[in-house]
């Protein structure tokens, strides 16, 4: 899961060890089973589960180089998938399906590559090169086996594209109506809106039938935003917006991008929302909104996600626990747990196998 701050990213760091506990403890709040330490993994980060939850990918840095690694969760066998030479850095990566991993690689010349790792064929393939400062992956399009959705400049504006993973071709999905800086799309790739800028004014833009029909509404400035779009509501039709204009501290509302009708999701609390959290590794798909007074607490947009988070918090009551990756069936997850002032640990709860593995603590 990514934690996206409304004024920036929340960042976390952790090294890795491993132990075993009982997932039953998460479910029932019982005492955990005795801890068993069975391996150590140094200098790993950004763990992400395959969609079926059987494999865990992660990056590793050693010998001043980066590697993309895979841990088979059935055998606990660790293998190298990719390594990056000549100063290239792995900027990000995503599972397209259980056999394909899409990587975003920053080169020393300022360019950025999309590369595809085929696990079945054990082969890496170059897809397309873009400018580093103006490329963003927006959707994995789970119902489309051949494409991903991305935004990039350098081809006539900051437009929305589909990238074909088989043919390596780019197809324009939506042209920039002129001032778009951030596209907002559903999981299936439907354009719901955009954030734009005209001079110092921030704009919330909603699409019409053509580029000329886009509607614009002023939402403040960089220094004083009235509205902040946290992402797409779980219903995949509305936007989740932090509204500072209606109340102080801010309220969180669901906004229909067509009718502009607002529905209050979370009324004002003692402080403004700090960030949104997403169970997806790509796009703006928040599951919860984070508030912080003496310690972080969450208001949930997704009921199933709330139940999972509650089970984890019951087992780990003294730490702040974040779901950083989740299998499609939600039986397996990666949890980052941190207390103050420790640097944190990663956990791997698995409902089906009734256990809670702990693969990370500094």
User: pLDDT digit string (tens) for 61-72?
Assistant: 887 788 999 989
- Is the pLDDT confidence value at 275 over 50? yes
Q: What is the DSSP letter of 167?
A: T
Q: Is 61 helix (H, G, I), strand (E, B) or coil?
A: strand
Lowest mean pLDDT among 177-191, 237-251, 275-289: 275-289
pLDDT at 283: 74
pLDDT at 270: 87
Residue 306 or residue 44, greater confidence:
306
Locus of tokens 């897809």: 127
Mean per-residue pLDDT of the chain: 81
* Helix, strand counts (H, E) of the chain: 2, 31
CATH code (residue 15): 2.130.10.120
Q: Is 53 helix (H, G, I), strand (E, B) or coil?
A: coil
For residue 53 the two structure tokens come to: 């939850």
Asked if 101 and 68 count as a contact pair (C-beta separation under 8 A), the reply is yes
Lowest mean pLDDT among 131-135, 276-280, 299-303: 131-135
d(CA 15, CA 359): 9
Mean pLDDT of 221-239: 91
Question: Cα separations (Å) of 271 from 120, 312, 343?
Answer: 49, 25, 25
Torsion of CA 76, 51, 114, 62, to 10 degrees: -20
Sign (positive/negative) of CA torsion 124, 119, 14, 92? positive
Residue 7: band (very low, low, confident or very high) from pLDDT cuts 50, 70, 90: very low
pLDDT at 154: 65
Q: What is the DSSP letter of 132?
A: G
pLDDT at 34: 31
d(CA 193, CA 209): 13
Of all helices (H) and strands (E), which one includes residue 70? strand 65-72
User: pLDDT digit string (tens) for 16-37?
Assistant: 222 222 333 333 333 332 333 3
Q: Comparing C-alpha atoms, which of 60, 63, 64, 134 is closest to residue 93?
A: 60
pLDDT at 5: 60
Question: Is there a cis peptide before residue 12, judged by omega within 30 degrees of 0?
Answer: no
Question: Cα separations (Å) of 71 from 15, 80, 107?
Answer: 15, 9, 26
pLDDT at 22: 31
For residue 278 the two structure tokens come to: 């997403």
Total structural domains within the chain: 1
pLDDT at 281: 67
- Is the pLDDT confidence value at 105 over 50? yes
Q: Which domain holds residue 338?
A: 2-360
Residue 330: band (very low, low, confident or very high) from pLDDT cuts 50, 70, 90: confident
User: pLDDT digit string (tens) for 146-193?
Assistant: 999 999 886 667 899 999 999 999 899 888 888 898 999 999 999 999
What is the chain's alpha carbon radius of gyration, rounded to the nearest angstrom?
21
Backbone angles phi, psi at 315, to 5 degrees: -80, -25
Residue 51 or residue 315, greater confidence:
51
């Amino acid at each position: 899961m990514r934690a996206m701050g409304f004024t920036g990213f929340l960042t976390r760091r952790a090294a890795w060890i491993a132990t075993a506990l009982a997932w039953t403890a998460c479910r029932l709040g019982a005492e955990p089973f005795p801890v068993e330490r069975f391996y150590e993994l140094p200098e790993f980060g950004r763990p992400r589960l395959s969609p079926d939850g059987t494999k865990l990918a992660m990056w590793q840095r050693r010998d001043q180089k980066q590697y993309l690694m895979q841990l088979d969760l059935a055998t606990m066998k660790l293998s190298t998938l990719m390594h990056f030479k000549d100063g290239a850095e792995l900027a990000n990566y995503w599972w397209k399906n259980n056999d394909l991993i899409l990587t975003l690689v920053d080169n020393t010349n300022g360019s950025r590559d999309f590369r595809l790792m085929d696990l079945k064929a054990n082969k890496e393939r170059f897809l397309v090169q873009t400018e580093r400062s103006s490329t963003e992956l927006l959707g994995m399009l789970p119902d489309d086996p051949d494409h991903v959705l991305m935004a990039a400049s350098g081809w006539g504006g900051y437009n929305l594209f589909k990238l074909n993973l088989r043919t390596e071709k780019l197809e324009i999905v939506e042209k920039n109506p002129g001032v778009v800086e951030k596209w907002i799309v559903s999981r299936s790739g439907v354009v719901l809106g955009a954030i734009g800028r005209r001079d110092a004014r921030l704009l919330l833009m909603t699409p019409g039938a053509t580029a000329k029909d886009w509607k614009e509404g002023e939402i403040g400035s960089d220094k004083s935003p009235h509205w902040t779009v946290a992402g797409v509501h779980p219903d995949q039709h509305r936007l989740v917006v932090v509204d500072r204009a209606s109340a102080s501290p801010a309220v969180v509302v669901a906004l229909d991008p067509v009718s502009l009708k607002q529905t209050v999701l979370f009324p004002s609390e003692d402080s403004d929302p700090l960030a949104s959290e997403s169970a997806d590794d790509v796009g703006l798909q928040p599951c919860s909104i984070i508030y912080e007074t003496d310690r972080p607490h969450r208001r949930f947009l997704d009921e199933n996600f709330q139940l999972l988070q509650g089970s984890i918090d019951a087992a780990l009551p003294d730490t702040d626990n974040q779901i950083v990756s989740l299998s499609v069936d939600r039986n397996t997850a990666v949890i980052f747990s941190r207390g103050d002032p420790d640097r944190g640990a990663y956990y791997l709860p698995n409902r089906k196998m009734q256990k809670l593995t702990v693969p990370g603590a500094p």
